[in-house]
Structure 1
Amino acid sequence: MKLLLKYTGITLLSIVAFVLLYLGSAWVLSRIPVKAETAGQPAVEIYLLSNGVHTDIVMPVKTEYRDWSSTILYSNTRSNDSSLSYIAFGWGDKGFYLETPTWADLKARTAFRAAFGLSTSAVHATFYKKLTEGAECVKTTISPSQYQRLIAYIDNGLQKNSNGAPIVIPTEARYGANDAFYEARGSYTLFHTCNTWTNNALKASGQKACLWTPFDSGIFYQYRKH
């Protein structure tokens, strides 16, 4: 009995120590900035959007550099509303996206598989009419070459069919009338979360970012500080 209590105590202390180390590392590394590149003339406005937990990166549906609606089809959404002029991309664990509409629906199996990279991933694409800057929506402007690198980053995160088109996930587990899910590359883990993906998108396109973060607050810290 004493041996059982001893090992139980060691296990609990190890879990607590890991959680504290994880949270401490997330706080420290998210405060270390990755500076934006010195770029040419800004041309494309993009947005960082948070729901308080998860971040999306938002851009115009159509520019001279890319028409997203040619591959991320309006017809894959319930509304099929082609007047929507912005598109948001978020990446994450497929089980979280499709099986967990609210936190109350979260299953231990889904959380475990996501935390340890045992599940597949998905890209969530949402169309918007407009974006309004605020506490959870930040605008920045990037150059054409930087935007093209952002396009490549998002493209590389999408699985493609034999025709080179993104693979839509047939599901009714959508969040509204203007969104759809697509098969993605990579696996979600404790160390590569939806917010890590967004932060890496910013790095890939030469934008202000943090060294590493699993949380949305790390990204927004870099954009809110003066």
Structure 2
Amino acid sequence: MSIHSSLKQESLIVDTYSITLKPVYSCPASEPLQGVTLPPGWTLAWHQAETFKALSDPNIDVVFNTAMTGDGKTLAACLDVLLGNCSAMVQYPTNELARDQEIQIQSYVEKFNPFPLPRIGRLSSAELELYAENEGLRKSAVLETHTSQRDILLSNPDILHYLHRGAYLMPKDSPDKLWGRIDEDFDLFIFDEFHVFN
């Protein structure tokens, strides 16, 4: 970015100042979070700290973080999981974004090095179909296994839509068979890129 001065005493004098800005800048948190140990050299942005506090508050049911793309919303949402305090089902509008964020969350796990390490998995409708076919299982059994054996499960809204419709259930199954387990197994439901879900 250059800033130019104007005419001085009838001659053009140009002063150039260079300012280098990071692609995204958010105000750092004013104080560290109690009980949260960050990797060396890390600080949280204000919105990350406030998101963590809101998600930790039992009186708050829904939190919207509208920070810019690349500003650490996923870290803010998953921080409590990285600290070993809860489990999360994370929804992404596309399977590619879920795949990309799985790599990002794995890198957070490496940096935070929590104990025990969270079990991370990704499940799309296509993977569900393939796994069920290859293992000779019903889709409901695959869902039960994947949801009960993950601390972070990355998926897409199709899975929730079909769960809600009862598409993975047999006629005599309880309507709450799968959804009840998911509700029990996961403390936090995260919808990344929420605006895309309309």
Q: Same fold (TM over 0.5)?
A: no
User: TM-score by structure 2 length?
Assistant: 0.23
Question: TM-score normalized by structure 1?
Answer: 0.21
Structure with more relative contact order (C-alpha pairs < 8 Å, separation 6 or more):
1
The structure that has the greater radius of gyration is: 2
